[in-house]
C-alpha cells in the first residue's frame, strides 16, 4: 500500500470513528425516570430499552473494528489478509475499511460456515 492510499484510508477510518462517536452521543438508552402506568406501556418501554441496548452493542463492536483497523494502519499491516497474507483489494477496503480478509478467504470462510 502506497503513502497516498494509506493517507486515504487513515482519513476514512477517522471519519467513520467520528461519525460513530457522534451517533453514540445522540443515543438514548432508556428513560430511567419514567414509570409506565399500564402493562402495555411497560412492555413497550422494555422492548425499546432492549433494542437500544442491542444498537449500542452493535455500535460498540463497529467502533472496536475501526480502532483495530487504525492500529493495523499504524503497524503497516493494513490491507493484508490475516489468513493468507495476501493483499486485500483497495475496492474491498473502500467498501469495508475494517476488512481483515481478502475476498477469496472471506468466501472460503462463508462456505465452511454454511451447511
One DSSP character per residue, 36-94 reads: --SHHHHHHHHHHHHHHHHHHHHHHHHHHHHHHHHHHHHHT-TTB-TTT--BPPHHHHH
**Statement: the pTM of the whole predicted model exceeds 0.85:** no
Pick the CATH number of 3-28+38-113 from 3.30.300.10, 3.30.70.20, 1.25.40.10, 1.20.120.910: 1.20.120.910
- CA-nearest of 44, 40, 42, 64 to 52 is 44
Task: Specify the pLDDT at position 48.
Answer: 79
CA distance 87 to 100: 10
Task: Specify the pLDDT at position 17.
Answer: 85
pLDDT at 20 over 90: no
Amino acid at each position: 500500500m502506497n503513502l497516498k492510499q494509506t493517507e486515504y484510508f487513515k482519513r476514512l477510518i477517522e471519519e467513520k470513528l467520528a461519525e460513530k462517536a457522534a451517533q453514540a452521543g445522540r443515543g438514548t438508552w432508556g428513560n430511567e425516570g419514567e414509570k409506565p402506568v399500564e402493562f402495555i406501556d411497560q412492555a413497550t418501554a422494555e422492548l425499546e430499552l432492549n433494542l437500544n441496548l442491542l444498537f449500542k452493542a452493535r455500535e460498540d463492536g463497529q467502533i472496536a473494528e475501526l480502532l483495530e483497523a487504525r492500529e493495523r494502519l499504524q503497524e503497516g499491516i493494513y490491507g493484508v489478509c490475516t489468513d493468507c497474507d495476501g493483499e486485500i483489494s483497495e475496492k474491498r477496503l473502500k467498501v469495508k475499511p475494517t476488512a481483515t480478509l481478502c475476498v477469496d478467504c472471506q468466501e472460503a470462510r462463508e462456505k465452511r460456515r454454511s451447511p
